[in-house]
Amino acid sequence: MPEAVIIGSERSEVGLPTGMDVLRRGGSALDAVEAAMRRCEDNPADHYVGTAGLPNAQGVVELDASLMLGSGRQFGAVAALRGYPNPISVARAVLEKLPQHSLLVGEGAALFAAENGFSTAELLTDASRELWRKQVVQSRESVEGENTAATDGDTRYRESALALIRRLAPHDGPWGTINIIALDSSGEMCVGVSTSGYPYKYPGRVGDSALPGAGNWCDLRAGGAACTGRGELSMRGGTARTIVDLLAAGQDPSDACRAALADAATLPDDFRAELRALALTPDGRHGGAAGQRGSVYALMTDASTEPEFRPRSVL
Ligand code: ASP
């Protein structure tokens, strides 16, 4: 029997102890990832996930999340979901209750959440609204000299939003998506990803976090992997899937992450920003990689009293 373990990206440490408690009680990897991720989504100090996540260019929070199981590669995801604070749980409901489908977006995802009894909440907090106002609204006003009406379908707004998104510098510091990967004592593995996405994204933009192969991949024959950072690069690189393929070919987790990120880094991209990755194998080996020195991932095993941090290898 493998030893239960749970790992996660920067800021997952808020939720990992909850996930480890689930695993210690003999709970499943899926339960552990969902419980841990909900803690992160509910953290008002985290502006990259769930409640308080940074909104799109129009000031509306749109969330992406996914879950993938290693044994049968079952996948459930939601994207551009508005008004529901725990997209990871809606993604789980897609996985378990809607086996005909794997990914719901926008209005359909919200309809499904409502039908399954999830409660809505205001996701834009005062702090995240203020960040959006300072970084987007004021910047747009200073460019145009006037406050352009941000109405849906307005061509001028669409052009200015796109111009603004092109001009916005990629974020300093770690991008905010949370990755959590758990291995339970039965040997099942689950990869979970949740995010408010590219800050101030174009409305309707879906990132890698909701897409199998890009931001999330789990195959019990080799391992699980997940990404944070510029999702358009991990979509084009098939990065999470590439990492698992490299695990299957015998690479260790940190080498596999580094090689897959190096491949994505060869792609032409005017909006280049950092990509990070994490991986876990079915025998409990783990590792991560990042484009910048000083990046870490968090880890808990049965022996841990609190999350420990491990360095990611650097590209
Ligand atoms: N990967 C996420 C996305 O592209 C962003 C992030 O990690 O912050 O939506």
Under CATH, to which class is 5-122+172-314 assigned? alpha beta
Q: Which of 208, 211, 235, when mutated, tests ligand 1's pocket best, judged by the most ligand atoms within 8 Å of its CB?
A: 208
pTM of the model: 0.92
Number of the ligand 1 atom closest to the C-alpha atom of 201 = 9
Q: Which residues touch 210 (CB under 8 Å, ≥6 apart)?
A: 64, 65, 66, 77, 78, 79, 91, 103, 105, 193
40-78 residue pLDDT tens: 999 999 999 999 999 998 899 999 999 999 999 999 999
Structure token pair of residue 210: 């909701």
Number of the ligand 1 atom closest to the C-alpha atom of 229 = 7
Q: Does the CB atom of residue 194 touch ligand 1 within 6 A?
A: no
Point out the residues that are catalytic: 177
Spell out the SS3 assignment of the chain: CCCCEEEECCCHHHCHHHHHHHHHCCCCHHHHHHHHHHHHHCCCCCCCCCCCCCCCCCCCCCEEEEEEECCCCCEEEEEEECCCCCHHHHHHHHHHHCCCCCEEEHHHHHHHHHHCCCCCCCCCCHHHHHHHHHHHHHHHHHHHCCCCCCCCCCHHHHHHHHHHHHHCCCCCCCCCCEEEEEECCCCCEEEEEEECCCCCCCCCCCCHHHCECCCEEEECCCEEEEEEECHHHHHHHCHHHHHHHHHHCCCCHHHHHHHHHHHHHCCCCCCCCCEEEEEECCCCCEEEEECCCCCEEEEEECCCCCCEEEECEEC
What is the rounded distance in angstroms from the CA atom of residue 38 to the CA atom of residue 67? 13
Name the more confident of 136 and 92.
Answer: 92
Q: Which residues touch 250 (CB under 8 Å, ≥6 apart)?
A: none
Number of the ligand 1 atom closest to the C-alpha atom of 177 = 7
Residue 96 has pLDDT above 90, yes or no: yes
Distance from residue 118's CA to the centre of ligand 1 (Å): 24
What is the rounded distance in angstroms from the CA atom of residue 286 to the CA atom of residue 252? 8
Structure token pair of residue 284: 């409990």
Pairing verdict, β 75-81 and 103-105: parallel
Residue 152 has pLDDT above 80, yes or no: no
Q: Which of 11, 40, 177, when mutated, tests ligand 1's pocket best, judged by the most ligand atoms within 8 Å of its CB?
A: 177
Q: Does the CB atom of residue 231 touch ligand 1 within 6 A?
A: yes
Q: Does the CB atom of residue 48 touch ligand 1 within 6 A?
A: yes
Q: Does the CB atom of residue 175 touch ligand 1 within 6 A?
A: yes
Residue 93 in contact with residue 102, Cβ under 8 Å?
A: no
Q: Structural domain boundaries of the chain?
A: 5-122+172-314
Q: Does the CB atom of residue 27 touch ligand 1 within 6 A?
A: no
Residue 313 has pLDDT above 70, yes or no: yes
Number of the ligand 1 atom closest to the C-alpha atom of 215 = 1
Q: Does the CB atom of residue 199 touch ligand 1 within 6 A?
A: no
Hey, whose CA ends up nearest to atom 4 of ligand 1?
Answer: 231
Residue 148 has pLDDT above 50, yes or no: no
Q: What is the mean pLDDT of the chain?
A: 91
221-239 residue pLDDT tens: 999 999 999 999 999 999 9
pLDDT at 154 (0 to 100): 43
Residue 241 has pLDDT above 90, yes or no: yes
Distance from CA of residue 144 to its chain's centroid? Answer: 33
